[in-house]
Structure 1
Amino acid sequence: MESILVLIAAPGSRAIGVKTADMLRDFGAAAPRWLAEGEALEVADFGGRNAAIAELAGLAIDVNVVPAANRRKRLLVADMDSTMIEQECIDELGVMAGIGEHIKQITARAMRGELDFEGALKERVKLLKGLDAGIVDTILRERISFMPGGRTLIATMKASGAYTALVSGGFTPFTAHVAAELGFDENQANELIVADGLLTGEVGHPILGQQAKLDALRRISAKLGIATADALAVGDGANDLAMLGAAGMGVALHAKPQVQAEARHRVNHGDLTALLYLQGYEQSAFRD
């Protein structure tokens, strides 16, 4: 199967220059197709690909090999925390409860795959018992910021007819807000149980973890009448691995070491627009 080598740098960095293109040609590549001058280019697979990739190692450039066939995806399934937003929402709740560092440590271990996701979620939510539920609105207003490139990713894929879903192991008040702000077609997450305006320390069942994310990918694909090979999935934590592996294009975005090791595609320097370059979009086709 024909493959494409895609190089992506951080927006505005211009880290991919003429010398990079010349180096690729020295290893046998054809003339590159620039997706964004100085930021993204692609070349058809070539005999010296592995040597060229080794030469690029250590530079501030993401290097990925993608199949040429079925490259532009019809479905996006995205994680939320540390993927579409820059924060972990449960950590922000912990900060408001005065136990931020303790909860952050549990979150970090769960996202690295060191703890069972469901058990770790229950443990953290239990620590939030008695917190005013209205604090969610304060967090959304004051502490949540969107990952660069997310709005462009959603708008551009939807303009090409793709369906977009936000599927999170976090909580519905946050996914509803993020989905509405960024333009997702649907969102799915866990339910924080509230009584008399306070968090009860419990989370609704069933808990949405790794299997549920995979199930969501399959469910939405079936609803659209497409194969999971027609989907792009993106995430950063261990609970994203199943859906990243099942999607036609699974991308680890600034991800934990285990996820980077297992995912087929990795983005460590670019932002969310890198997912458009991986699909072959030129910057001139981006929508906002």
Structure 2
Amino acid sequence: MRRLLNKLGTFAMGVETKAQEFHLPLAQITQSRFDCSVRYLTYSGGHALLGLEYDNTAPFLDAVSCQLNLPSVIPSDVQSPWCLTFLSPAATLSQLQRLLNFCAEQHWHIDVIDTLAHRHECTVIRFQFSAELEFSPARFACLQLAEVIGADLVLQEGTSQRVPALAGFDMDSTLIDAEVIDELAKITGIGDQVAAITAAAMRGELDFRDSFKKRMALLKGFSEQRLAEIAKQLPLKDGAQNLLHCLRKLGCKTVILSGGFTYFANFLQRERLAVDLIYANELEFAEGALTGEVIEPIVDGMRKRLLLGETAKEMGVPLEKVVAVGDGANDIPMLNLGALGIAIHPKPKVRREAPQAITLFGLDAALYLFGLNDQQIAELGQPS
């Protein structure tokens, strides 16, 4: 309704919004002086199809144009050595121009372009390209450009653009939109004190094991009954249910690897999320309340990596078919283990060090990095 009212408003002011597909060489896209909304871009064999929405003046007066023909076909097979995925909540021609100029400056030869999502609130365009590059500096350059243009840019090897066989997930602030230990502390009146320790640990400023012991000691006496009430109230991360549901339908095994607690991970597995395995910390109780002690071994960053590797080995899954998803500093070791290490809404240190990062979208945006488009994702969401 809002979109309709906006469109009516533009007519009232004498400005007509038009939607057109332009057929033109890829290099010509960078030459327009007019900005507008991008709906999609496809490119192969030297020929680009660019879908735009604009007011009055067409950005390309000398290009063949026709009505929008939104792409819904299966994306092209990935043949190139590298992929760069552009994810924008409001894609514009100026963003696209900056990205194309950036690729040219880096001497990245674009082979194929597919549009994986073309909703108004989410446009996802995947660039396959050939280049000899060093991953770390190239990834950092992409992060810098992403900040400038207000989008996510995800660099990955072309061979990683496929559905994984095993996916490992952090829980707190990754699958759920909360840090459980902080929520417990708020109830006991020491929320600020514990949250400060948690934040420092997630930023990598404190050793996770030491910070975990300190926080647990402060929670001594917390009742088990209240834990059950809190478990039902934990908010899921946007897109978590959809991502795990789709991965299960695709045959990918999933595992929680958490510095949080099995108590809550088991509840999520039982009631809300399609998870296959759980590794987390055990809570110790005495007379129905927390003792404040920890049960070894503590699941810290290195143990997460170890457990993910051991799980892959036991399942016979090679590391090139393993991905990991997390948000904090203690996730960095496992994020650097397999084919992809996706930091979701990460802290600054994690964004700098994780191989891949998604900051502007929900957890299920990871499906685009596995080579799926919106049509395929929607089909996975349908009942079998």
> TM-score normalised to the size of structure 2?
0.69
Contact kept in structure 2, 1:149 and 1:272, CA below 8 Å: yes
Match of 2:126 among 37, 42, 53: 42
Q: CA separation of 1:259/1:24 partners in 2, compared to 1, >3 Å: closer, same or farther?
A: closer
Q: CA separation of 1:108/1:22 partners in 2, compared to 1, >3 Å: closer, same or farther?
A: closer
Which structure: greater strand fraction?
2
Measured after TM superposition, the shift of residue 56 of structure 1 is: 4.8
CA–CA separation in structure 2 for the residues paired with 1:252 and 1:152: 18
Secondary structure of 1:134 counterpart:
helix
Q: CA separation of 1:187/1:55 partners in 2, compared to 1, >3 Å: closer, same or farther?
A: closer
1:3 aligns with 2:73: no
**Any residues of structure 2 matched to 1:32-181 within 5 Å, and which?**
32-37=113-118, 38-45=122-129, 53=142, 56-72=146-162, 73-142=164-233, 144-180=234-270, 181=272
Q: CA separation of 1:24/1:198 partners in 2, compared to 1, >3 Å: closer, same or farther?
A: closer
What is the count of residue pairs matched by the alignment?
281
CA–CA separation in structure 2 for the residues paired with 1:110 and 1:21: 37
> Relative contact order (alpha carbons < 8 A, sep ≥ 6): 1 or 2 greater?
1
CA–CA separation in structure 1 for the residues paired with 2:371 and 2:153: 14
Of residues 189-198 and 171-180 in structure 1, the stretch that sits farther from structure 2 once superposed is 171-180
1:263 aligns with 2:354: yes
Letter in 2 for 1:71: Q
CA–CA separation in structure 1 for the residues paired with 2:182 and 2:330: 17
Contact kept in structure 1, 2:220 and 2:290, CA below 8 Å: yes
Of residues 235-244 and 171-180 in structure 1, the stretch that sits farther from structure 2 once superposed is 171-180
State the identity %: 33
Q: CA separation of 1:56/1:107 partners in 2, compared to 1, >3 Å: closer, same or farther?
A: closer
CA–CA separation in structure 1 for the residues paired with 2:171 and 2:281: 12
Measured after TM superposition, the shift of residue 117 of structure 1 is: 0.8
Measured after TM superposition, the shift of residue 161 of structure 1 is: 1.2
Letter in 2 for 1:210: G
Deviation sequence 1:150-172 (CA, Å, 0-9, x none): 11111112211110011100011
Q: CA separation of 1:262/1:200 partners in 2, compared to 1, >3 Å: closer, same or farther?
A: same
Deviation sequence 1:188-241 (CA, Å, 0-9, x none): 110110011011111211111112101111111012101222111011111111
Measured after TM superposition, the shift of residue 186 of structure 1 is: 1.2
Greater gyration radius: 2
Contact kept in structure 2, 1:96 and 1:135, CA below 8 Å: no
CA–CA separation in structure 1 for the residues paired with 2:331 and 2:84: 24
CA–CA separation in structure 2 for the residues paired with 1:238 and 1:55: 23
Contact kept in structure 2, 1:125 and 1:203, CA below 8 Å: yes
Match of 1:188 among 279, 283, 298: 279
1:230 aligns with 2:321: yes
Contact kept in structure 1, 2:217 and 2:293, CA below 8 Å: yes
Deviation sequence 1:225-267 (CA, Å, 0-9, x none): 0122211101111111110111210011111222111111111
CA–CA separation in structure 2 for the residues paired with 1:30 and 1:248: 22
Letter in 1 for 2:376: A
> TM-score normalised to the size of structure 1?
0.91
Measured after TM superposition, the shift of residue 282 of structure 1 is: 0.8
Contact kept in structure 1, 2:332 and 2:354, CA below 8 Å: yes
1:200 aligns with 2:291: yes
Q: CA separation of 1:32/1:128 partners in 2, compared to 1, >3 Å: closer, same or farther?
A: same
Contact kept in structure 2, 1:166 and 1:179, CA below 8 Å: no
Compute the RMSD of aligned alpha carbons.
2.1
**Structure 1: which 5+ residue stretches go unaligned?**
none
